Each structure stands twice: as C-alpha cells, then as structure tokens.
Amino acid sequence: MKLTIVAATGGIGRHLVEQAVAGGHEVTAVARHPRDLPAGVRAVAVDFAQPDMPALASTVRGADAVLSALGPRDPRADVGITSRGTRAIVAAMQAEHVRRIIIVSAAPVGPVPVPGQPTPSKHDPGDGFFMRHLGSRFARTLFGRHYADLAVTEQILRDSGLEWTVSRPPKLTDKPLTRTYRTALNRNIRGGFSVPRADVAHHMLAMVNQPETTKQIVGIAS
C-alpha cells in the first residue's frame, strides 16, 4: 500500500515508518524536519503551525491511507497544533479524494459521543475506580488544554466525511514492540495504564485493513 505518515520523526511516527517499510509498504514521511529515515522513504517537510497546503496535498495524493501521530512536543506549551494540523490534513485529503485516515489521540480525552445521546456519560465506560476518581482528574489538571484540543481534533474527523479511526492510548512508553496489547471500541481499557509507542504504531497499521474500526474510537493499552 501507499501510506502517508504524518509526524514521521516523532515517538510513534518513527515506529510507524520503520514498521511500514518492513511490511513492504510505499511510505511518504511528513515532518517539520524529516531526517534519519529508512532508505526508500519519500520525505516531505511540512510545518503544521503554518502548513504549505500544496506541499501537504502532494504528500497524500494517491495514498491508500494517512496515519497521523501529530501532537505537540510539549503538551503544556504548544497547544492547538494537533487540531490545526489535522484540519489541514483533512482538507488536503478531501481535495485529493483520499478517504482513510487514522490518528493518535489520548485515553483521558473523555467519553465518546453516541448518536441520539447529546450528553455523554460523565466517565469513560472502560475506566476503573482509580481512573474515574483520581487518574483522569490528575491528567486533566496537567494537560487539560491539550486534551481539549484533542477533543476538537476528534470532532474535525467526525465532521470530515472521511473514513477515520481514532486511537486512544494511555501513557506512552519506549518499551519494545510486544504485539500483545488489548483494544476495545469506543472505550478505554480497564486497568490499562500504559502502552509502548511501538505497539500503538503496530495497531494503527493493522487498522488500515480493519473496516470495523472505521468511524470508531479505539482504546488500546498493554
């Protein structure tokens, strides 16, 4: 397949590129400063603070899927980059008639809206006692503005008309790939406090060919 990987030099993005290349895919890597990429990868520089739309459109043209690990380097400082960048990616995909997109969000964003239920439940159905009463409150105190931006990002996808999927991991680690992670549709993982970045990348690539994940929020954790 032809895959466009956004934020290709970041923590999850590097794993996406390496695993996609190992899987025999044709990869276009998009990053602010693309470098140190595997041989054969097409690299395109795009600054998502002020995206060059013709350059961005060229990166998704003819792609079978776009996988985005876009996010701020410092969630407490560079707020807004994920929603702004995702809005630009969606516009480029719509212009180029590319349909499939998978992005990374975060488990503490909150309950998933359900059609016919204008006010979602207060707690994510997958969260246990600790996350409901302590963990999520602590996370939102530290990174509340970032999670609010991720919520906006997810809504941009819902409104896009594209074949989207959102991956919501908890705390990310640099442990090696395990392939033994747990997943669930439209809920977090009970007792899932962390997951390796390599596993998130592995699952994102797998979901490209999983139509049941289209237009779904997917929880993932070890």
pLDDT score of 197 more than 90: yes
pLDDT value for 134 = 46
Please check whether residue 100 is in contact with residue 65, taking contact to mean a CB–CB distance below 8 angstroms.
Answer: yes
Residue 173 confidence (pLDDT) above 60 = yes
Alpha helices in 125-166 (DSSP H): 129-130, 136-158
User: Is the confidence at residue 130, as pLDDT, over 60?
Assistant: no
120 pLDDT higher than 80: no
Rg (alpha carbons) of the chain, rounded to whole number: 16
User: pLDDT for 72-119, tens place per residue?
Assistant: 877 666 779 999 999 999 999 999 999 999 999 998 886 555 455 555
The chain-wide mean pLDDT, for the chain, equals 88
The pLDDT of residue 45 is above 90: yes
pLDDT surpassing 80 at residue 219 = yes
DSSP classification of residue 168: E
DSSP code of 127?
-
pLDDT at 73: 76
What 3-state DSSP class applies to 208?
Answer: coil
Average pLDDT over residues 49-57: 95
For every residue of 157-202, DSSP letters joined together read: HHTT-SEEEEEE-SEEE-PPP-S--EEEETSPPTT--EEEHHHHHH
Token pair listed for 163: 């074949």
pLDDT of residue 79: 77
- pLDDT value at residue 147: 82
101 CB-side CA count, 13 A = 29
Compute the half-sphere exposure of residue 175: CA atoms within 13 Å on the CB side of its CA: 14
Does the structure show a pLDDT above 70 at 143? no
Phi, psi of 214 (to 5 degrees): -70, 135
Q: Evaluate if residue 215 carries a pLDDT over 80.
A: yes
Residue 56 structure tokens: 């961005």
Ordered DSSP codes for 61-114? TT-SEEEE----SSTTTSTTHHHHHHHHHHHHHHHHT--EEEEE--GGG-PPPB
Q: Residue 38: what pLDDT?
A: 95
Name every residue whose Cβ is closer than 8 Å to that of residue 62 and which is 6 or more positions away in sequence: 2, 96, 98
pLDDT of the residue at 133: 45
Domains of the chain: 2-221 (3.40.50.720)
The amino acid that residue 109 corresponds to is V
Q: Using CA atoms of 63, 67, 73, 74 in order, give the dihedral in degrees to the nearest 10.
A: 130
Q: How far apart are CA 221 and CA 22, in angstroms?
A: 23
- Which pLDDT does position 124 carry in this prediction? 57
Determine how many CB atoms are found less than 10 A away from the CB of residue 144: 15
**Whole-number pLDDT of residue 119:** 58
The predicted pLDDT at position 142 comes to 43
